[in-house]
Amino acid sequence: MVNIKRILCPVDYSVSSSEAMKYAAHIAGEEGAKVYLIHVIDVRSYGHESPLDLEMPKPSQENVDRMKKELVEDLFQEKGGKGVEVEAMVVMGKPVEEILKAAKEQKIDMIVMGTHGRTGIPHVIVGSVAENVIRKAPCPVLTVRQP
Protein backbone atom coordinates (compact mmCIF):
# COMPACT_ATOMS: atom_id res chain seq x y z
CA MET A 1 0.00 0.00 0.00
CA VAL A 2 1.18 3.52 -0.78
CA ASN A 3 1.81 5.62 2.30
CA ILE A 4 2.16 9.36 1.61
CA LYS A 5 2.91 11.31 4.78
CA ARG A 6 5.42 13.92 3.56
CA ILE A 7 4.88 15.97 0.40
CA LEU A 8 7.42 18.44 -0.98
CA CYS A 9 6.05 21.23 -3.15
CA PRO A 10 8.59 23.55 -4.81
CA VAL A 11 7.20 27.06 -5.37
CA ASP A 12 8.56 29.49 -7.96
CA TYR A 13 5.48 31.75 -7.98
CA SER A 14 4.47 30.67 -11.49
CA VAL A 15 0.94 29.68 -12.45
CA SER A 16 1.99 26.03 -12.66
CA SER A 17 3.52 26.04 -9.17
CA SER A 18 0.34 27.66 -7.86
CA GLU A 19 -1.64 24.78 -9.36
CA ALA A 20 0.83 22.30 -7.87
CA MET A 21 0.18 23.79 -4.43
CA LYS A 22 -3.53 23.03 -4.87
CA TYR A 23 -2.74 19.40 -5.70
CA ALA A 24 -0.31 19.12 -2.77
CA ALA A 25 -2.92 20.56 -0.38
CA HIS A 26 -5.61 18.21 -1.69
CA ILE A 27 -3.44 15.09 -1.49
CA ALA A 28 -2.22 16.09 1.99
CA GLY A 29 -5.81 16.59 3.15
CA GLU A 30 -6.84 13.17 1.83
CA GLU A 31 -3.78 11.34 3.16
CA GLY A 32 -3.25 13.24 6.42
CA ALA A 33 0.17 14.24 5.14
CA LYS A 34 2.41 17.20 5.92
CA VAL A 35 3.30 19.61 3.11
CA TYR A 36 6.80 21.05 2.89
CA LEU A 37 6.78 24.14 0.68
CA ILE A 38 10.19 25.14 -0.67
CA HIS A 39 11.18 28.26 -2.53
CA VAL A 40 14.73 28.30 -3.87
CA ILE A 41 16.32 31.67 -4.41
CA ASP A 42 18.57 30.89 -7.36
CA VAL A 43 22.11 31.66 -6.24
CA ARG A 44 23.15 32.07 -9.86
CA SER A 45 21.31 35.40 -9.84
CA TYR A 46 23.64 36.78 -7.17
CA GLY A 47 27.27 37.72 -7.23
CA HIS A 48 27.25 38.24 -10.99
CA GLU A 49 27.06 41.58 -12.64
CA SER A 50 23.76 42.27 -14.27
CA PRO A 51 23.45 43.78 -17.76
CA LEU A 52 22.92 47.13 -16.00
CA ASP A 53 26.23 46.67 -14.14
CA LEU A 54 24.43 46.29 -10.80
CA GLU A 55 24.62 43.46 -8.31
CA MET A 56 21.37 42.18 -6.92
CA PRO A 57 21.27 42.38 -3.12
CA LYS A 58 20.78 39.12 -1.27
CA PRO A 59 17.48 38.94 0.62
CA SER A 60 17.61 39.83 4.31
CA GLN A 61 16.56 37.34 6.98
CA GLU A 62 13.49 39.51 7.53
CA ASN A 63 12.50 39.09 3.88
CA VAL A 64 13.14 35.34 4.00
CA ASP A 65 10.93 35.03 7.11
CA ARG A 66 8.20 37.08 5.40
CA MET A 67 8.37 34.83 2.33
CA LYS A 68 7.96 31.71 4.51
CA LYS A 69 4.95 33.21 6.26
CA GLU A 70 3.35 34.19 2.94
CA LEU A 71 3.87 30.70 1.51
CA VAL A 72 2.05 29.12 4.45
CA GLU A 73 -0.77 31.69 4.32
CA ASP A 74 -1.16 31.15 0.57
CA LEU A 75 -1.55 27.40 1.03
CA PHE A 76 -4.12 27.87 3.79
CA GLN A 77 -6.15 30.70 2.26
CA GLU A 78 -5.89 30.29 -1.50
CA LYS A 79 -5.06 26.66 -2.19
CA GLY A 80 -7.53 24.81 0.02
CA GLY A 81 -4.98 23.75 2.62
CA LYS A 82 -6.99 24.48 5.76
CA GLY A 83 -6.24 21.85 8.35
CA VAL A 84 -3.11 20.66 6.55
CA GLU A 85 0.17 20.63 8.47
CA VAL A 86 2.67 22.75 6.55
CA GLU A 87 6.26 23.88 6.83
CA ALA A 88 7.83 26.49 4.56
CA MET A 89 11.48 26.63 3.58
CA VAL A 90 13.26 29.41 1.72
CA VAL A 91 16.81 28.54 0.72
CA MET A 92 19.50 29.88 -1.58
CA GLY A 93 21.12 27.59 -4.10
CA LYS A 94 20.53 25.91 -7.42
CA PRO A 95 16.87 24.87 -7.64
CA VAL A 96 17.36 21.23 -8.68
CA GLU A 97 20.06 20.61 -6.08
CA GLU A 98 18.11 22.22 -3.24
CA ILE A 99 14.85 20.43 -4.10
CA LEU A 100 16.61 17.05 -4.18
CA LYS A 101 18.49 17.85 -0.97
CA ALA A 102 15.24 18.77 0.82
CA ALA A 103 13.56 15.60 -0.48
CA LYS A 104 16.30 13.45 1.02
CA GLU A 105 16.68 15.37 4.28
CA GLN A 106 12.93 15.47 5.00
CA LYS A 107 12.39 11.86 3.85
CA ILE A 108 9.75 13.01 1.36
CA ASP A 109 7.26 10.45 0.01
CA MET A 110 6.11 12.51 -2.99
CA ILE A 111 7.11 15.70 -4.78
CA VAL A 112 4.33 17.76 -6.36
CA MET A 113 5.65 20.48 -8.64
CA GLY A 114 4.70 22.68 -11.54
CA THR A 115 6.22 22.47 -14.97
CA HIS A 116 6.37 25.29 -17.49
CA GLY A 117 6.26 23.02 -20.52
CA ARG A 118 9.10 24.77 -22.33
CA THR A 119 10.25 23.22 -25.58
CA GLY A 120 12.83 23.97 -28.24
CA ILE A 121 15.37 26.73 -27.65
CA PRO A 122 13.92 27.93 -24.29
CA HIS A 123 14.17 24.37 -22.96
CA VAL A 124 17.78 24.08 -24.13
CA ILE A 125 18.75 27.47 -22.66
CA VAL A 126 16.78 27.40 -19.40
CA GLY A 127 16.66 23.64 -18.94
CA SER A 128 13.94 22.00 -16.99
CA VAL A 129 13.99 21.92 -13.23
CA ALA A 130 11.05 19.50 -13.25
CA GLU A 131 12.75 17.17 -15.73
CA ASN A 132 15.94 17.02 -13.67
CA VAL A 133 14.03 16.49 -10.43
CA ILE A 134 12.04 13.65 -12.03
CA ARG A 135 15.24 11.95 -13.19
CA LYS A 136 17.03 12.18 -9.83
CA ALA A 137 14.32 12.23 -7.16
CA PRO A 138 14.32 9.58 -4.43
CA CYS A 139 10.50 9.39 -4.61
CA PRO A 140 7.61 9.73 -7.09
CA VAL A 141 7.10 13.16 -8.69
CA LEU A 142 3.72 14.53 -9.76
CA THR A 143 4.07 17.35 -12.29
CA VAL A 144 1.31 19.89 -12.85
CA ARG A 145 1.12 21.98 -16.02
CA GLN A 146 -0.36 25.42 -16.37
CA PRO A 147 -4.13 25.28 -16.80
* Separation CA 70–CA 76 (nearest Å): 10
Residue 76, pLDDT score: 78
Residue 54, pLDDT score: 54
User: With b meaning 16 or more CB within 10 Å and e meaning fewer, what string describes 16-37?
Assistant: bbbbbbbbbbebbeebebbbbb
Domain-embedded: residue 1: no
Run means of pLDDT, 10 residues per run, the chain, 147 residues: 93 90 93 95 66 63 87 79 88 93 98 76 61 94 88
User: CATH no. for residue 95?
Assistant: 3.40.50.620
110-115: strand order across its sheet: 85-93, 34-42, 6-10, 110-115, 141-145
Continuous segment of H or E residues that includes residue 114: strand 110-115
Domain-embedded: residue 39: yes
Q: How many domains does the chain have?
A: 1
Residue 19, pLDDT score: 92
Phi/psi at 107 (5° precision): 55, 55
Residue 121, pLDDT score: 55
Residue 86: other Cβ atoms inside 10 A: 21
Domain-embedded: residue 111: yes
Residue 78 domain boundaries: 6-145
* Separation CA 51–CA 55 (nearest Å): 10
pTM for the model stands at 0.84
Residue 42, pLDDT score: 83
**Residue 79 neighbours by CB under 8 Å, 6+ apart:** 18, 21, 22, 24, 25
